[in-house]
Amino acid sequence: MINIKKAKHRCDSCGNKDVEIKRRYKNDTYCANCYRIWFIRKPCSQCGEINRLHKKEAFAVCRACRMNQPCTRCGGEAVKDGANTEYGRVCQTCYQGYFKTKKQCFECGKFERGVCSYSKLSHDHGVCVSCYQSHFRETCPLCHKYRELVTTDTGVMCRKCHEFGEIPCKSCHKLMPAGMGKKCDSCYWSQRLKHEAEINTYLLTDGVMRQAYTAFTIWFEAELDSKTAALKHHNYIDFFVRCDGLWGVIPDYESLVNEFKPNGLRKYLTALRWLIKTKQVVVDPKIKNQIVEEERIVSLLAKLDGDAPRCISEYHTYLEQKLLNGKTSLKSVRLALQPAIDLCTQFRLEGSNTPNQEQIDGYLLIKQGQRNALYGFVMFLNKKCGSSLVCVKPSRDAVLKANRSEIERQLMALNNQSKPLSDKDQLIWLQLGMAYFHNTQISLKTLATITIKHGGDEMNILTYKKQDYWIPKYIA
């Protein structure tokens, strides 16, 4: 903390302490001797009157002119309770909010501008406004304002609600707690929504789109409530801006889906729901499903980072030709591409490399359900390369062995973690232990409800379906 008494008796010009301060100027102090040296008689640059002004300033201003200057930040009046800063005269509001030196709050430790001491507190240290208010203020249960509360016969409330009770709202004339002020909450949020929506319409160039956006906000308020609509309507203005720039009107559903895609429309789902309920668009499931499948195919190809093996590119071209000839559907194209791309990414095939029989067998050990979907890709490779690859269904023993190896790998990964396991990881450890040691599949949700007993220093006992299972403990 700054020792205020000491600061008042130190000259910033000569550095002498315990001297009488003759003048304070732009946060600097001057003793009587330094004042005579640095402040000489010369005309004010504004009024022309002779005054003692700082000799280093070419356009020095006298105290009277400085006091009459408007706030250098907001332009408001700063004569009565303003403050002088190195940037000029500022009003008290701007001084407290932007120019006052930040000090550290004794309670929260943050550096704020409104730090000062209060007589109501049990200590003399400076605290910020938030910390001070936390001692004496709470939310009034009637008007929901953050104020000092008083205890009454009917409960705790702010002084305004206690003294004036209920008063009529100036907008809707319904009775409301006096602490709310001039308007009830519903009228406040409704008028705020109307005002902000009017401002947002200036982002739209076409009058039709402006009317559409205004109609949407009215519907949004009626569908939910004025507060929710006022806080969330900004999330949908981009939808109307894009429609305004592309079409100037609300287009049909096909144009919307082609432009925004299904994932993009989910972001503006409320706006789409408004269009559907007001019968401005009609949803076509066929168009929607087609765009969804196209997006999924693009996402699959994106897994290859733009460097797809030649066999995948040629297989994709082959499937698209079948689609053009009407021999397959877009969904079938996506289902055929998925295992082929997964196979190539799993074994990191690049360029002219193609999968071999060992890689196909290894893939099917993990993804047995993709055997039929992978068959078309294997037949395409056989026809193109003259190979004799096959999609053989793996034996049950081979599948169990592969699954067991994968479970073992996951267990070792958990065991080798440098940090202690989180609560979720501990449940995964138990889940993998049940699968590895007892060949029993159990969900994490079920595990979270099971009582686990200690079976010594190194074992846990799980009781599942009236049977006890012993699983090794995780030891960090």
In DSSP notation, 350-399 reads -TT----HHHHHHHHHH-GGGHHHHHHHHHHHHHHH------PPPPHHHH
pLDDT at 13 > cutoff 60: yes
pLDDT band at 282 (very low <50, low <70, confident <90, very high): confident
Residue, of 382 and 292, whose pLDDT is higher: 382
| Of the candidate ranges 253-267, 371-385, 398-412, 459-473, the one whose mean pLDDT is the lowest | 398-412
Residue, of 155 and 417, whose pLDDT is higher: 155
Dig out the tokens for 31 from the structure.
């003793």
Dig out the tokens for 379 from the structure.
């037949």
Phi, psi of 284 (to 5 degrees): -105, 105
Using DSSP's 3-state secondary structure scheme, residue 206 falls into: coil
Cβ count near 45 (within 10 Å) = 14
pLDDT at 1 > cutoff 80: no
The single-letter code of the amino acid at 138 is E
Q: What percent of the chain has pLDDT over 90?
A: 29
Dig out the tokens for 168 from the structure.
């009529």
Dig out the tokens for 192 from the structure.
């705020």
pLDDT at 399: 64
**Nearest-CA neighbor of 13 among 42, 41, 39, 46?**
39
Q: How far apart are CA 459 and CA 279, in angstroms?
A: 64
H and E: helices and strands count for the chain: 20, 16
What is the rounded average pLDDT of the residues 203-216?
92
| N- to C-terminal Cα separation, the chain | 47
Q: How far apart are CA 104 and CA 432, in angstroms?
A: 52
Burial class (CB in 10 A: 0-12, 13-18, 19+), 227: middle
Q: How far apart are CA 28 and CA 425, in angstroms?
A: 62
Q: How far apart are CA 401 and CA 437, in angstroms?
A: 13
Dihedral, CA atoms, 139, 144, 145, 150, nearest 10 degrees?
-50
Q: How far apart are CA 42 and CA 56, in angstroms?
A: 12
Q: How far apart are CA 474 and CA 476, in angstroms?
A: 6
Residues 6+ apart with CB under 8 A from 313: none
The single-letter code of the amino acid at 229 is A
The DSSP code for 236 is G
Q: How far apart are CA 375 and CA 392, in angstroms?
A: 10
| Of the candidate ranges 4-18, 118-132, 199-213, 454-468, the one whose mean pLDDT is the lowest | 4-18
| Of the candidate ranges 136-140, 234-238, 393-397, the one whose mean pLDDT is the lowest | 393-397
The DSSP code for 178 is G
Beta bridge partners of 112: 103
Burial class (CB in 10 A: 0-12, 13-18, 19+), 279: exposed
Sign of CA dihedral 343, 347, 350, 355: negative
pLDDT at 3: 40
Maximal C-alpha separation, the chain: 107
Q: Are 375 and 391 in contact (CB under 8 A)?
A: yes
pLDDT band at 172 (very low <50, low <70, confident <90, very high): very high
pLDDT in tens, 118-149: 988 989 899 999 999 999 899 999 999 999 99
Dig out the tokens for 413 from the structure.
């990964």
pLDDT band at 240 (very low <50, low <70, confident <90, very high): very high
